Amino acid sequence: SEYPAWLLGEDGHLYFLSTGWDQVNGAYSFHPSCIFRIKKGETDFDKNWHVYPKDLNSTLSIGVMWSMGFYKGKLYVEASDENITNFGDFGKV
């Protein structure tokens, strides 16, 4: 993918992004997108830190985040600005 699933933040923490969709036997299913981290020097996920689409836009109940990046110490996220309700067209070109 052109979008990394993890980044080393400017703060030394590792950040991971799960888009939330999955494909099994040609059918797409949805799980909430999430960004989570492992703090610098730690080996376990930080249970007190995570970002969901609804944290970025309170009107999103089923949003998708697909990329992230850091700039001048801030985390930026690309995400849907509408709820995703139909995954039927994902595999069609």
Kindly report, residue by residue over 32-57, the tens digit of the pLDDT: 789 999 999 999 999 999 998 888 87
Residue 82 has pLDDT above 90, yes or no: no
Range of the domain at 26: 6-79
Is 19 a domain residue? yes
State the burial class of residue 72 (Cβ atoms within 10 Å of its Cβ: 0-12, 13-18, 19+): exposed
Q: Is residue 16 part of a domain?
A: yes
Which residue did the predictor score with more confidence, 44 or 22? 44
What is the per-residue pLDDT for 1?
55
Asked if residue 92 belongs to a domain, the reply is: no
Q: Is 33 within the bounds of a domain?
A: yes
Quick check: 93 pLDDT over 50? Answer: no
Tokens of 86: 């139909």
Query: Is 84 domain-assigned?
Result: no
Q: Is residue 40 situated within a structural domain?
A: yes
* 89 assigned to some structural domain: no
Structure tokens at 44: 């376990």
Q: How many domains does the chain have?
A: 1
Residue 88: which pLDDT band, with cuts at 50, 70 and 90? low
pLDDT score for 4: 77
Establish if 87 belongs to a structural domain.
no
